[in-house]
């Protein structure tokens, strides 16, 4: 089930875990899709760095955001410290990095 606007608004401060259940760090922000208005990216502080994590296939349970990506893939994503907006082109590049799409399927080839 996709992350709703209501759930997305409450994500900052929520601890995030990776696809293996390993703790990452807190969610520090959320970016919505420009067209749908739904939460699309979470900013997660991991190893002292802020990175954008896809909310496709993510869910919130047990008070934590469970991401569908590994910590290694998150750490190798572009920095998000000074991101103010995630454009369509940015989203495409990020989905390619993660090897997924907004629908959460794997119809793109991951970078690296």
Domains of the chain plus CATH, in order, are 5-98 (3.90.50.10)
Q: Which two tokens stand for residue 18?
A: 């990776």
For residues 18 and 69, is the Cβ–Cβ distance under 8 A?
Answer: yes
Q: What is the pLDDT of residues 91-110, one digit of tens each?
A: 989 999 998 877 655 544 54
Query: pLDDT tens-digit profile of 8-32?
Result: 999 999 999 999 999 999 999 999 9
pLDDT tens-digit profile of 55-77?
A: 989 999 999 999 999 999 999 99
What six digits make up the tokens of 71?
């910590």
| CB proximity list for 15: less than 8 A, separation 6 or greater | 23, 24, 25, 26, 27, 63, 64, 65
The four Cα atoms 96, 101, 72, 8 give a dihedral, to 10 degrees, of: 130
pTM assigned to the model: 0.87
């Amino acid at each position: 089930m996709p992350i709703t606007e209501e759930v997305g608004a409450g994500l900052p401060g929520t601890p995030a875990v990776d696809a293996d259940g390993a703790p990452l760090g807190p969610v520090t922000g959320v970016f919505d899709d420009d067209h749908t208005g739904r939460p699309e990216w979470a900013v997660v502080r991991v190893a002292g760095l802020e990175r954008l994590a896809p909310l496709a296939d993510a869910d919130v349970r047990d008070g934590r955001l469970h991401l569908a990506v590994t910590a290694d893939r998150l750490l190798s994503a572009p920095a998000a410290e000074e991101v103010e907006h995630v454009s369509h082109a940015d989203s495409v590049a990020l989905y390619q990095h993660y090897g997924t799409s907004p629908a959460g399927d794997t119809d793109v080839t991951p970078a690296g």
